[in-house]
Structure 1
Amino acid sequence: MSQFDSLKELLILDSNEETKFSEKQLKIIEAAIEIFSEKGFAATSTSEIAKKAGVAEGTIFRHYKTKKELLVSIVSPLMTKLLGPHFAKDFAQEVFEIEYESFETFIRNLASNRYEFVKKYIAVVKILIQEISYHEELKEPYVKLFKEHVYEKFKKIIIRFQEKDEIVDWSPDTIMRLIITTLMGTLLSLFLVLPETDWDNEAELETTIQFLINGLSVK
């Protein structure tokens, strides 16, 4: 299944009579995802999207008043309404609601979970990373999701392993920041920043896991 097929499946499953997407709308969204991810929002024109989708440019504006509304309609529903539950609720359940025997087991599960997520939805993740600094409305929902569904559970796991003397006694917030930025740095390098590099993805992920385990363990 292609990346857009996965997203399309989510769109169709989530839609109701009020939000149901027409075939033309799905083609517009697919074309926009592909071009936005390749060229960025600013460098993409609605005429390019229309051509790629095989529709008249006026068709886009019947569904979306502006190009920015099209961008927000792609990222916000797909990432907060559809993928958001995965990121927050399912992510919390799959990673943060497990009794881990060791800090290493926790880090391995977290790294594997995020690797598979980014790999599956890389096109939309790429758009989000590119545009989040320029469009505040794209950032706010993710901060809210993280605080509501992940933050306290993440912190609780960190504190538990500190109490077991497995990891350093630093601020839990600092440790969470180091884990998140290290993992995201690896994933962005593998899939976005340097995708043309002949990476051995499994080896790179393993190196990142070892880096976190060794860097945060009590010496």
Structure 2
Amino acid sequence: MGQLDKEFIKDLMEVTEKELTPKQAKIVQAAIEIFSEKGFAATSTSEIAKRAGVAEGTIFRHYKTKKDLLISIVLPVISKFAVPFFAEKFLNEVFHDENLEDIEGLLKILIKNRFEFVKSNAPLIKILLQEMAYHSEIRESFKTVFVTKVLPKFQAAVEHFQKQNQIADFPAATVLRLTMTTIIGFLVTRFIIMPDYPWDDEKEIEYTIQFVRNGLKEI
């Protein structure tokens, strides 16, 4: 796997607060590749072991079940990437007062930041989206992040722009739904559904900004 995936292994060790053994790192790398390619249900531990170059029993010395291996990969995507990065570092950057003068500027920062995040972590995002519908642990973790971390910050930004009459008087949760559905749809299409299409990324970002901006305008 490439450098970006090695960075994820490094971050995974920070989340778990323990160093992965070389064999365990190979298991995680192989699982990310195959879960992304085939999905969790269609992947066997023997396939993971073969690609990792380890005995199948080695997997079960580190993870009780295949699902434990999945959760060990996916939850850090939410908790380490999504909580500190998305809800703290990212939102502090995006919703800093100097960025709140114009909603288009805010949307540009928001989309470009998420663009680079998904570009760097597309296999992990694919696994997260694929498996969220089937595993309550993943859904609940994702829900907690958005309800407790993202929505309050987003609500403050929405109220700020509504006072300036830049966006319509929609409930904050509705603005979040409309905005994130459009942005996530763009990113999923760009990096997961049609990654090889000859996109003009700068233009697509601008089109997305204008689409969201026009949809939120005061009527």
**TM-score, structure 2 normalization:** 0.92
> Which shows bigger deviation, 124-133 or 82-91?
82-91
Match of 2:4 in 1: 3
One-letter amino acid of the counterpart of residue 76, structure 1? L
Give the Cα–Cα distance (whole angstroms) in 2 for the partners of residues 135 and 176 of structure 1: 24
Residue deviations 1:157-181 (CA, integer Å, cap 9, x gap): 1111111111112222211110010
Residue deviations 1:109-161 (CA, integer Å, cap 9, x gap): 11111111111111111100000000010111122122222211111111111
RMSD over aligned Cα atoms: 1.7
One-letter amino acid of the counterpart of residue 112, structure 1? K
Contact 1:28–1:60, Cα closer than 8 Å, also in 2: yes
> Which shows bigger deviation, 28-37 or 78-87?
78-87
Deviation, structure 1 residue 9: 2.4
Secondary structure at 1:205 match in 2: helix
Give the Cα–Cα distance (whole angstroms) in 2 for the partners of residues 55 and 159 of structure 1: 54
> Which shows bigger deviation, 81-90 or 51-60?
81-90
Deviation, structure 1 residue 212: 0.9
Matched residue count: 217
Match of 1:87 in 2: 86
Deviation, structure 1 residue 96: 2.1
Contact 2:15–2:76, Cα closer than 8 Å, also in 1: no
Match of 2:101 in 1: 101
Give the Cα–Cα distance (whole angstroms) in 1 for the partners of residues 171 and 91 of structure 2: 21
**Matched-pair identity in %:** 48
Give the Cα–Cα distance (whole angstroms) in 1 for the partners of residues 15 and 45 of structure 2: 26
Match of 1:204 in 2: 204
Contact 1:36–1:44, Cα closer than 8 Å, also in 2: yes
Is 1:193 matched up with 2:188? Answer: no
Is 1:117 matched up with 2:117? Answer: yes
Specify every segment of 5 or more residues in structure 2 that has no aligned partner in the other structure, as ranges: none
Deviation, structure 1 residue 84: 3.0
Deviation, structure 1 residue 15: 5.4
Q: Alpha carbons of 1:161 and 1:20: their partners in 2 closer, same or farther (altered >3 Å)?
A: same
Q: Alpha carbons of 1:75 and 1:22: their partners in 2 closer, same or farther (altered >3 Å)?
A: same
Give the Cα–Cα distance (whole angstroms) in 2 for the partners of residues 78 and 153 of structure 1: 20
Contact 1:76–1:138, Cα closer than 8 Å, also in 2: yes
Contact 2:74–2:124, Cα closer than 8 Å, also in 1: yes
Deviation, structure 1 residue 197: 2.0
One-letter amino acid of the counterpart of residue 182, structure 2? T
Match of 2:53 in 1: 54
Contact 1:96–1:150, Cα closer than 8 Å, also in 2: no
Give the Cα–Cα distance (whole angstroms) in 2 for the partners of residues 150 and 14 of structure 1: 20
Secondary structure at 2:84 match in 1: helix
Contact 2:108–2:205, Cα closer than 8 Å, also in 1: no
Specify every segment of 5 or more residues in structure 1 that has no aligned partner in the other structure, as ranges: none
Query: For 1:41-190, what aligned pairs fall within 5 Å after superposition?
Result: 41-81=40-80, 83-99=82-98, 100-190=100-190
Match of 1:34 in 2: 33
Give the Cα–Cα distance (whole angstroms) in 1 for the partners of residues 38 and 4 of structure 2: 18
